[in-house]
Chains A and B, each alone.
Chain A
């Protein structure tokens, strides 16, 4: 078999597997709907006043370096920012058309129920904890930064200025501090003067969010962002203006990142497992093909040789016969000649 043909065969097999229905997901065989008692945070954009107290609290709780401009300086809000290795959360100001004034939105890790970062990480540095948080283990990280590429919300950041031990940095939902008993809710939530952030069980917060919409239908967009986006997140959002206006992606769909890649990815171990057998089989087939061909050739040669032999023998026999006949003829001729000569000599002698 030629190499090109082989590769085409393999490709077809892979596509067939990927296209087939795969109930198995990357992480497990069951559809994961989130840990039942997972905590979450509900952000309500209609309550946020853009005071940056959450940013300040996050900085303090996570012992991050002091920023260039103090947290009381609200001119920072005039430029749109994103999270960085030194700021796990930032608040941005938006001026949506039709809104009465500025609307603020807090950015941080959304703690997906099925995190894309975790599914992209091949050393399992990311972990979805039963408390809803997604945390990172720097000790196993190899620094490939696939997680940064995978995140649909552009959240994880990298310590590029750390030459020896750079880490991926992002919000932890204060998982370490809460586990250690230092805090009873994430630092940002506790600092919010308006309860624009609420911390509690995800299932409870969803009820609260929908209750707020039902109570003030003209104040809210009838949608809880994060309830289903990317398979659901543990950071939920309410807003009075379309989420698009707050720089939030509305094109993400409701399927989690691992679910989307599971079909193709399930093929990977299968291909790895099947390769020896497949290659062996192909080798065996080609080998046996070769063998048969050899045998056939030998037989053909033999047959050819055999049939030639017979013909030659016949020819030889004919030649022999001819030769013998010639020989006999020549002997006869010679005998005759000798007899004639003898007769002539006798005649001469008689004559003489």
Chain B
């Protein structure tokens, strides 16, 4: 009799343990066990949040894992995506969204349905009915999808590919991707010579275009629809194709592979061929002048026009979008002196000189200065300082005897093709290499005795520094042109005084620290340390270590 209750308790415990194990398993996360944050294919399904507060957490869905599994099972994308007009719909198992209940049913029936079928076949599969938390895991998070930029090289690879035939039979492939909507024909057609980047029309979110009477897809939708669908059909035809998996474009490894192939393609052609869009080699950027006012003989007051090397800038940038952010029209079309509604009233001056935008001339040139080779001199420079007259003249060309005059009134409304003969003589006449004084005029060593009471005098390898800076600018057109005036290189250190072969010594301006008259000017000791250490740090020069006084620049004083 005594053993009976013990046995009963043991039985209850066993049942409890079994239930616990089962429940914990049900609550445990099935899918995202790997470092989810690193995986490009993990997307967060939170479509239901559009219908109000979520009952359960959104689902982290490993897209590539499913694609691979379906492929092995002999299924393709249509297992999960419906087709419309011959293209896959990016939504899951539906063409359009229904109400909340319908959406829930679409997901639950199809996800769990497929998992159940697979399980019935005795194969490994995902969570089943009742295992709610395996999908709706509160810890779930989307993976990291790197932005995929369509660079000029990648564009070239697509444009030159023999596998991508133009639908119109044209010798160029442009029409395969570039399109505009034909309202009459109710379909997209190729408008030759009017191609732009996808993002001009396909914005962050889908937009209803009242004039065309259609909804223009978001960039995300458009890119996945066109790129992935095309890659996929190519792959089905066993042709060489681009990535079809998420990680192929948005994963670090995939992007690395693309860059490697880009490099190979570039090596084959040598120099990257230019796009065939009828863009100018050279142009003149000028202020729009009121023709009537100019014709009346009134004097025109405007900045001198800027001869612009379009070809060189094409080669130096990854995409047209680097500058042409809204359309491939010329900048002055929207950015006028006063600004227009189309330009959001961003004036021509700001569009060209604004430091806040990497699309403006100065803004972009400034980002190039972040290169450690340049950063030594350029990060310490005060960015709010007014540009000097000399630097204005580097772009705004002074009239040169014998070269065509650049008259803003004449340039206003001129065809872009006609600007080339005006701009080119100015561009070819430019000095594109950094200049320094004769070697003998550059002191080899400079001895600094300021801290002679503590240390032996410091010896600055002056000429070596100058030559290193010069070497860093070799083969760099941008740096070469902007340092082509004699003494410009020297001004990295010998700042705030006119460029000269014999600049004033540091001590002539930097003397006592915290002078009430010059509160912002460092004293001599700090001026030296700031200049040397600041430059070394910005140029990522490891040696000498800034805090290692006696093994770096100073030698211990001999008693």
Residues of A whose CB lies within 8 Å of any CB of B are 47, 49-52, 74, 185, 192-195, 198-201, 204, 207-208, 211-212, 214-216
Chain A nearest CB from B549 CB (Å) reads: 7
Q: Are B384 and A214 in contact (CB under 8 A)?
A: yes
Q: 4 tightest A-B contacts by CB?
A: A195-B526, A51-B547, A193-B529, A49-B546
- Whether a CB of chain A sits under 8 angstroms from the CB of B354 is no
- In the complex formed, the residue of A with least CB distance to B384 is A215
Q: Are A49 and B533 in contact (CB under 8 A)?
A: yes
Q: Are B530 and A200 in contact (CB under 8 A)?
A: no
With most chain B CB atoms within 10 A of its CB, the pick from A74, A192, A193, A200 is: A193
Q: Are A49 and B523 in contact (CB under 8 A)?
A: no
Chain B nearest CB from A96 CB (Å) reads: 17
Interface positions of B from 514 to 535, Cβ below 8 Å from A: 514, 516, 519-520, 522-523, 525-526, 529-530, 533
Give bound CA distance, A193 to B516, whole Å: 20
Known A-B contacts A47-B530, A49-B546, A204-B519; A195 and B383 likewise in contact (beta carbons under 8 Å): no
Q: Are A200 and B519 in contact (CB under 8 A)?
A: yes
- Whether a CB of chain A sits under 8 angstroms from the CB of B126 is no
- 13 more contacts with CB within 8 A, not counting A198-B513, A199-B514, are A49-B533, A51-B546, A52-B547, A193-B525, A193-B529, A194-B530, A195-B522, A200-B514, A201-B516, A204-B516, A207-B519, A208-B520, A214-B384
- In the complex formed, the residue of A with least CB distance to B527 is A195
Chain B nearest CB from A207 CB (Å) reads: 7
14 contacts between A and B (CB under 8 A): A49-B533, A49-B546, A51-B546, A74-B547, A185-B514, A193-B525, A195-B522, A195-B523, A195-B530, A198-B514, A199-B514, A201-B516, A212-B520, A215-B383
Contacts of B525 in A (CB 8 A): 193, 195
Chain A nearest CB from B200 CB (Å) reads: 30
Give bound CA distance, A216 to B533, whole Å: 18
Q: Are B513 and A50 in contact (CB under 8 A)?
A: no
Give bound CA distance, A81 to B530, whole Å: 27
Give bound CA distance, A51 to B519, whole Å: 24
Give bound CA distance, A199 to B516, whole Å: 11
Contacts of A214 in B (CB 8 A): 384
Q: Are B526 and A193 in contact (CB under 8 A)?
A: yes
Give bound CA distance, A208 to B546, whole Å: 25
Q: Are B519 and A208 in contact (CB under 8 A)?
A: yes
Give bound CA distance, A12 to B157, whole Å: 85
Known A-B contacts A51-B549, A200-B514; A194 and B520 likewise in contact (beta carbons under 8 Å): no
Give bound CA distance, A216 to B526, whole Å: 18
Contacts of A49 in B (CB 8 A): 533, 546-547
- In the complex formed, the residue of A with least CB distance to B525 is A193
Give bound CA distance, A200 to B514, whole Å: 7
Give bound CA distance, A211 to B519, whole Å: 10
Give bound CA distance, A258 to B399, whole Å: 70
- In the complex formed, the residue of B with least CB distance to A198 is B514
- Whether a CB of chain A sits under 8 angstroms from the CB of B382 is yes
Q: Which of A185, A208, A215 contacts B382 (CB 8 A)?
A: A215
Q: Are B529 and A200 in contact (CB under 8 A)?
A: no
- In the complex formed, the residue of A with least CB distance to B528 is A193
Q: Are B533 and A194 in contact (CB under 8 A)?
A: yes
Interface positions of B from 315 to 335, Cβ below 8 Å from A: none
Chain B nearest CB from A75 CB (Å) reads: 12
Chain A nearest CB from B137 CB (Å) reads: 27
Give bound CA distance, A194 to B533, whole Å: 9
With most chain B CB atoms within 10 A of its CB, the pick from A51, A52, A211 is: A51
- Chain B 524-559 interface 0/1 with A at a Cβ cutoff of 8 Å (1 = within): 011001100100000000000011010000000000
Give bound CA distance, A199 to B512, whole Å: 12
Chain A nearest CB from B296 CB (Å) reads: 45
Give bound CA distance, A195 to B514, whole Å: 9
With most chain A CB atoms within 10 A of its CB, the pick from B520, B525, B547 is: B547
- In the complex formed, the residue of B with least CB distance to A51 is B547
Q: Which of A47, A185, A201, A216 contacts B383 (CB 8 A)?
A: A216
Q: Which of A194, A204, A212 contacts B526 (CB 8 A)?
A: A194
Known A-B contacts A49-B533, A207-B519; A216 and B382 likewise in contact (beta carbons under 8 Å): yes
Q: Are A211 and B520 in contact (CB under 8 A)?
A: yes
Give bound CA distance, A195 to B533, whole Å: 13
Q: Are A194 and B529 in contact (CB under 8 A)?
A: yes
Interface positions of B from 381 to 422, Cβ below 8 Å from A: 382-384
Contacts of B526 in A (CB 8 A): 192-195
- In the complex formed, the residue of A with least CB distance to B547 is A51
Give bound CA distance, A194 to B513, whole Å: 11
Give bound CA distance, A198 to B384, whole Å: 23
Contacts of B523 in A (CB 8 A): 195
Give bound CA distance, A9 to B523, whole Å: 65
- In the complex formed, the residue of B with least CB distance to A104 is B547
Give bound CA distance, A215 to B383, whole Å: 7
Contacts of A185 in B (CB 8 A): 514
Chain B nearest CB from A77 CB (Å) reads: 9
Contacts of A199 in B (CB 8 A): 514
- In the complex formed, the residue of B with least CB distance to A212 is B520
With most chain A CB atoms within 10 A of its CB, the pick from B384, B526, B533 is: B526
Contacts of A207 in B (CB 8 A): 519
Chain A nearest CB from B525 CB (Å) reads: 6
Chain B nearest CB from A240 CB (Å) reads: 12
Give bound CA distance, A193 to B522, whole Å: 11
Chain A nearest CB from B123 CB (Å) reads: 44
Give bound CA distance, A199 to B526, whole Å: 14
Contacts of B549 in A (CB 8 A): 51
Contacts of A204 in B (CB 8 A): 516, 519
Give bound CA distance, A96 to B108, whole Å: 45
Chain B nearest CB from A192 CB (Å) reads: 7
